[in-house]
Amino acid sequence: MIGDILWLLVKLFNYLVLIFFVVFNSFYFMTSIFAFVALRKYGRKLKSINIEEFVYSAGLPPLSIIAPAYNEEASCVESTRSLLTLNYPEYEIFVVNDGSDDATLQLLVEAFEFEELPGLQMSHIKTAKIRCVMRSRRHRNLWLIDKENGGKSDAINAAVNYVRHPFFCVLDADSILERNSLMRIVRPFVENDLTISTGGIVRIINGCKVVKGSVTDVRLPKNTLARFQVLEYLRAFLFGRMGWNAINATLIISGAFGIFRRSMVIEAGGFATDTVGEDMELIIRLHSLCTRRKIPYRISYLPDPIAWTECPESLRILGRQRDRWQRGLWDSLNLHRYMLFNPRFGVIGMVAFPYYFFLEMLGPFIEFFGYFSFIFTVAMGQASPAYIIAFLMVAFVLGVSLSVAAVGLDELSFPRYSRFSDLFRLFYLAILENFGYRQYLTFFRFKGIISALRRKKGWGKMVRKGFTSELQATES
The pLDDT, as a whole number, for residue 378 is 92
- Reported as type and span, the H/E element at residue 175 is strand 175-177
Give ∠ CA 321-364-447 in degrees, rounded to 5: 45
Residue-by-residue DSSP string for 252-302: ---TTEEEEEHHHHHHTTSS-SS-S-HHHHHHHHHHHHHHHTT---EEEEE
Residue 349: partners with Cβ closer than 8 Å, 6 or more residues away: 339, 340, 341, 342, 343
Q: Smallest Cα–Cα separation from 184: which of 199, 171, 204?
A: 199
Rounded Cα–Cα distance for residues 73 and 465 (Å): 9
The model's confidence at residue 460, banded by pLDDT at 50, 70 and 90, is: low
The model's confidence at residue 475, banded by pLDDT at 50, 70 and 90, is: very low
Rounded Cα–Cα distance for residues 203 and 138 (Å): 30
State whether residue 433 is helix, strand or coil.
coil
The model's confidence at residue 353, banded by pLDDT at 50, 70 and 90, is: very high
Answer yes or no: is pLDDT of 468 > 60.
no
The pLDDT, as a whole number, for residue 358 is 96
Cβ 449 vs Cβ 360: under 8 Å: no
Residue 344 is classified by DSSP as G
Rounded Cα–Cα distance for residues 119 and 16 (Å): 57
Give ∠ CA 266-272-278 in degrees, rounded to 5: 110
CB 278: neighbour CB atoms within 10 A?
A: 24
Answer yes or no: is pLDDT of 473 > 60.
no
Cβ 430 vs Cβ 400: under 8 Å: yes
Rounded Cα–Cα distance for residues 277 and 96 (Å): 19
Residue 302: partners with Cβ closer than 8 Å, 6 or more residues away: 42, 184, 185, 187, 188, 198, 199, 200, 201
What type of residue sits at position 327?
R
Answer yes or no: is pLDDT of 469 > 50.
no
Residues 242-251, mean pLDDT to the nearest whole number = 94
Beta strand pairing status for 175-177 and 298-309? antiparallel
Rounded Cα–Cα distance for residues 106 and 128 (Å): 20
Average pLDDT, the chain: 89
Q: Which of 54-63, 268-277, 390-399, 455-464 has the lowest mean pLDDT?
A: 455-464
More confident residue, 472 or 326: 326
